[in-house]
Amino acid sequence: MPDYNFYDNVYDVVRLIPRGRVTSYGAIAAYLGNKGSSRIVGYAMMAAGTAKPPVPAHRVVNRQGLLTGKFHFGGNTMEELLAAEGIEVKDDKIQNFKQLYWDPSVELSL
DNA sequence: TCGGTGACTTGGT
DNA sequence: CACCAAGCCACCG
């Protein structure tokens, strides 16, 4: 068994997120089998900025569709990236989040 | 081995 | 609707 680091696992899932879609930290944690590790997912995302290949962390938001980690991107970078994918953001919150929501435990389990 | 840390989540006031 | 508190767990030094 490969060195299954939670971080690497998280990165893989995030890279699988289709363009124009978003998911939540908890969903990823749940997909990995560690529902309680939702915080760890966010923590991993912080390091995602230095990870290679780069991880589309801008597609990962909290349960409310709120861009909690936009500040870590450095300003409005996160919002810009989302807008570039056709995702509408207002007040650091994703509109029609319910529609754009992409659940790995559902999409990847097909 | 232990403690600090956090881009979360839920529930209560 | 807004804020506070507690539970949760992997990574790092």
| Domain ranges for chain A | 6-99
Which residue, A39, A84, A82, is CA-closest to A62?
A: A39
Q: Which nucleotides of B are covered by protein (CB under 7 A)?
A: 5-10
Bridge partners of A23, per DSSP, are A60
Whether the CB of A73 is less than 7 Å away from nucleic strand C comes out as no
Q: Which CATH architecture has domain A6-99?
A: Orthogonal Bundle (1.10)
Check if residue A6 sits with its Cβ under 7 angstroms from strand C.
Answer: yes
Any strand B atom closer than 7 Å to A57 CB? yes
- Give me A110's structure tokens: 């097909």
- Tokens 């966010």 correspond to A42
Over 80: is that where the pLDDT of A2 sits?
no
CA distance A59 to A30: 17
Query: Does any strand B atom come closer than 7 Å to the Cβ of A106?
Result: no
Check: CB of residue A65 under 8 Å from CB of residue A94.
Answer: yes
Express each pLDDT in A32-80 by its tens digit.
Answer: 998 889 999 999 999 998 898 999 999 999 999 999 999 999 889 999 9
